[in-house]
Structure 1
Amino acid sequence: MLSKLLRFGRRQLHTIVSREIIKPASPTPSQSKTYNLSLFDQIAINSHTPIVAFYPNLDQKFQEKTKALELKSSLSKTLTDYYPLAGRVKKSDATYVDCNDEGIEYIEAINDSSLAEFMQRSNHEDLDPLFPNDLIWFDAHIRGDTEGVTCPLVVQVNRFACGGIAVASTLSHKVGDARSLLNFINHWATVSAKKDTSLTKPQILHYQTKNIKLPDILSDKSRVGCVTKSFLFPNQKLNDLKAKVTAMTIEAGQPITNPTRVEALSWMLHNRTMAAATKRNSGTFKPSGMLFPTDMRGILAEKLPGTSLGNLNFVIEFPTTNQNDLEPHITLGEMRKRKAAFQSIPNLDTATEIVSQMSPETALETSKRIDPYHIYSSLSRFPAYDIDFGWGKPVKVTLGGTVKNVTVLMPAPDGNGIEAVMCLEKEDMKLVQNDPELLAYC
């Protein structure tokens, strides 16, 4: 397979050079051969989450072959702990993973550019060839799928002419959320670096067999006609933004005390996105809304381990039906009220019972209502830049080009701030990326 990237008049060649199957180093015990998906897994969107970590060639004497062998060996050991990811799951109506140890596809590719040149020239959409089998969000082309089943995880290791490496992984959202994928990459790196894995080992939760026939609460979103851009917001600018939000809420007579960086930034990004959409719509405000996937691991009364595998998040929904809804005291006030309601849920069993009581009609109506909403998902507190395979920390950890109206908040490369990866329609993005009110905090 040969992919060609044309940018700035120079042809960059990205070539797949090998494919193989990596199986778990130890067989999965017979009592763990079936991994039931939770109800949160079953109603998750049918997509793949793509994350890539870039590493410079820090040691010229460290041979590429040695790196590859160590990566494959440590991956095999990691799959022993993450055994559901080496199994097979149905592509539709999946209720469980068959943990049969068939393994995952491990792909190697080469790029004729240096890592620095590639990163300087590339937009998010140009990262697509780094990911295996076109498993980018909803653009999934599964190889060798003859029985309607697929492996939840695929890995591609990309080598650059300078010796730099990009390790790309993509995970089926039916088996785990973005936190699950970052946990996996972190554990794999820890095993590879021969460090203590006691803090990175996964917690495999076990669920009773339940099946719920609900439509995707978040319908498929497209990348057609959209563009993904990154905006970096340093800590000092975020502090300024938090101060502005606090002042605005005090002036409105409904003070929001100590807004978090994520709260303030999500509000500002949605505010400026709606301003762009209104301007493009000849000044007419178009109702929309905000969705906040919120990690349940640390929010339920009975805390879940941070390394728990699965879709362990709930979604806070807030409609923005008019301009007044964009005021920070309303947006953040409603966000906090709805989050507090989830914090009162005692444990995962209770949360599951709440979901199980949802009717297909209610879910369908919810899906239709929130389809035009904007999603703001935060991974900013995860130590992505501590992922060290034994050759130093990454210079960049990011996502492939996302899908329409999705914004993911990532930690900044140097730890100073938050990087927002945004995907909008092209015309809206032109306005947003030149918006002085947004750029004032970059």
Structure 2
Amino acid sequence: MNKIISQQTIKPASPTPSHLKTYNLSLLDRIVPNTYTDFVFYYPKYMNNVNINVLKQSLSQSLAIYYPLAGRLPSPSASYVDCNDEGIDFVEVSTDSRLSEFIVKKYHDETLHHLFPHGLGLNDGKTNRSLLQVQLNHFSDGGVAVAVSVSHKIADGLTVASFVNHWATVARGESPIDPTFISSPASNSTEVVDEYDPDYTSEVIYKKRTFTFTNSKLNELKKNVIAMGNTPMNPTRFEVLASLLFKCAVGASTNKSYDSSLLYQPFNVRGIIAGKYPETTVGNVLTCAATKMKNPGQMQLNEMVNELRKRKMEVKGLTNMKEAAQYWTNMLSTLD
């Protein structure tokens, strides 16, 4: 059973300067769906005597640097963030279960969503105004889980990781690496962007499973794929494993009415496009590719690896943010 200990709004430690009050979304930000990116971090040996105020104060200091996270989108379809320092949601919860047991069983039940303020995968940016929510979960054995949900409109997965690393570094009393912000054109841009807007209004049942692949098995899989011929030079472990998992997932699908299936793959383009943005760059600095394959009965692993490699080389050929946005938009058209 979960019990809410406290709920509060954490605001930036210092006000956002007037010239930074409007944070324009990039073309890539405007494409992504108005949903949230969810992370959870487990600390089995967390000490109860650690001052929770340290976490809150360091979070407040981090928000002063990652200032858009403490702002608001004026509307779900807005092309900018109003950096008004309204703050973020911070919830502290206690649970009567043990973290040691929860970690073992979390892949076999549907309780993971209890760790998040608005549930895992159910946080809708159209109804929830806070761009960042944090829930600190205390377990009966002294362990904790820190759940972080960030609006996908202003942050991809790497941005969330950079923010959490910044927060953790400040909490330790050390000097963090400050983020880089991309200067985007004003919201009256004439460029048209097609936003992917899936329906998240209905509850989805998630099931988690863990599969372990040893190095020897992965190497064996690579050899088997290479032996099939017509395979890219030195296929990566990701390429061969993703192909295998995709083939198995499609084969196990209960919907057999399709003629083809899509493997949706995001790419971090910070080190690819002109400017070579640092890894701490804030925003959605990514694009996505879709690999379309025939039904699993006809799908060969070497063919799948070839298609994944083609998509990878296409992305490596992108030169700027506009091209990355157009590539993503073209991919989204395949989902219609």
Fold match (TM-score > 0.5): yes
Counterpart in 2 of 1:132? 117
Do 1:43 and 1:214's aligned partners in 2 also have CA atoms closer than 8 Å? yes
Counterpart in 2 of 1:53? 41
Normalised by the length of structure 1, the TM-score is: 0.68
Do 1:285 and 1:323's aligned partners in 2 also have CA atoms closer than 8 Å? no
- The CA RMSD over aligned residues, in Å, is 2.7
Structure 1 residues 324 and 338: alpha-carbon distance in aligned structure 2, compared to 1, 3 A threshold: farther
Do 1:219 and 1:367's aligned partners in 2 also have CA atoms closer than 8 Å? no
- Tell me which amino acid in the other structure corresponds to 1:107: V
Structure 1 residues 180 and 207: alpha-carbon distance in aligned structure 2, compared to 1, 3 A threshold: same
Give the paired residue count.
Answer: 332
Q: Say if 2:331 is the partner of 1:366.
A: no
Q: Residue 334 of structure 1: CA displacement? A: 2.1
Partner Cα distance (2:272, 2:300) in 1: 26
SS in 2 for 1:351: helix
Partner Cα distance (1:325, 1:311) in 2: 36
Partner Cα distance (1:219, 1:212) in 2: 22
> Which residue among 178, 181, 192 is the counterpart of 2:160?
181
Counterpart in 1 of 2:179? 202
Partner Cα distance (2:255, 2:4) in 1: 44
Partner Cα distance (2:93, 2:203) in 1: 25
> Which residue among 220, 225, 229 is the counterpart of 1:245?
225
SS in 1 for 2:292: strand
Greater mean alpha carbon deviation, residues 14-23 or residues 326-335: 326-335
Greater mean alpha carbon deviation, residues 84-93 or residues 225-234: 225-234
> Which residue among 16, 21, 27 is the counterpart of 1:39?
27
Q: Say if 2:267 is the partner of 1:290.
A: no
- Tell me which amino acid in the other structure corresponds to 2:19: Q
Structure 1 residues 58 and 341: alpha-carbon distance in aligned structure 2, compared to 1, 3 A threshold: closer
> Which residue among 83, 91, 98 is the counterpart of 2:82?
98
Do 1:47 and 1:174's aligned partners in 2 also have CA atoms closer than 8 Å? yes
Counterpart in 2 of 1:219? 198
Greater mean alpha carbon deviation, residues 111-120 or residues 26-35: 111-120
Counterpart in 2 of 1:321? 294
Counterpart in 2 of 1:3? none
Partner Cα distance (1:102, 1:319) in 2: 43
SS in 2 for 1:231: coil
Cα deviations by residue, 1:292-320 (Å, 9 ceiling, x for unpaired): 11111122254211111111111111111
Partner Cα distance (2:190, 2:94) in 1: 43
- Tell me which amino acid in the other structure corresponds to 1:298: G
Normalised by the length of structure 2, the TM-score is: 0.88
Normalized per residue, the structure richer in strand is: 1
Partner Cα distance (2:13, 2:22) in 1: 18
SS in 1 for 2:208: strand
The answer for unaligned runs of 5 or more in structure 2 is: none
**In percent, how many aligned pairs have the same letter?**
38
Do 2:58 and 2:170's aligned partners in 1 also have CA atoms closer than 8 Å? yes
Q: Residue 140 of structure 1: CA displacement? A: 2.6
Structure 1 residues 321 and 216: alpha-carbon distance in aligned structure 2, compared to 1, 3 A threshold: farther
Partner Cα distance (2:101, 2:75) in 1: 38
SS in 2 for 1:268: helix
Cα deviations by residue, 1:92-148 (Å, 9 ceiling, x for unpaired): 2120011111111111000112211222333363111110123x32x2368xx9xx7
SS in 2 for 1:240: helix
Do 2:263 and 2:290's aligned partners in 1 also have CA atoms closer than 8 Å? yes
Structure 1 residues 58 and 133: alpha-carbon distance in aligned structure 2, compared to 1, 3 A threshold: closer
> Which residue among 7, 11, 29 is the counterpart of 1:23?
11
SS in 2 for 1:232: coil
Partner Cα distance (1:225, 1:18) in 2: 28
Partner Cα distance (1:181, 1:100) in 2: 20
1:74-153 counterparts in 2 under 5 A? 74-123=58-107, 125-134=110-119, 136-137=120-121, 139-140=122-123, 150-153=129-132
Q: Residue 240 of structure 1: CA displacement? A: 2.6
Structure 1 residues 285 and 102: alpha-carbon distance in aligned structure 2, compared to 1, 3 A threshold: closer
Q: Say if 2:251 is the partner of 1:275.
A: yes
Structure 1 residues 274 and 306: alpha-carbon distance in aligned structure 2, compared to 1, 3 A threshold: same
Structure 1 residues 238 and 316: alpha-carbon distance in aligned structure 2, compared to 1, 3 A threshold: same
The answer for unaligned runs of 5 or more in structure 1 is: 1-12, 369-442
Cα deviations by residue, 1:253-306 (Å, 9 ceiling, x for unpaired): x132222222121111001112223xx568x87421211111111222542111
Structure 1 residues 323 and 231: alpha-carbon distance in aligned structure 2, compared to 1, 3 A threshold: closer
Partner Cα distance (1:266, 1:318) in 2: 11
Greater mean alpha carbon deviation, residues 217-226 or residues 266-275: 217-226
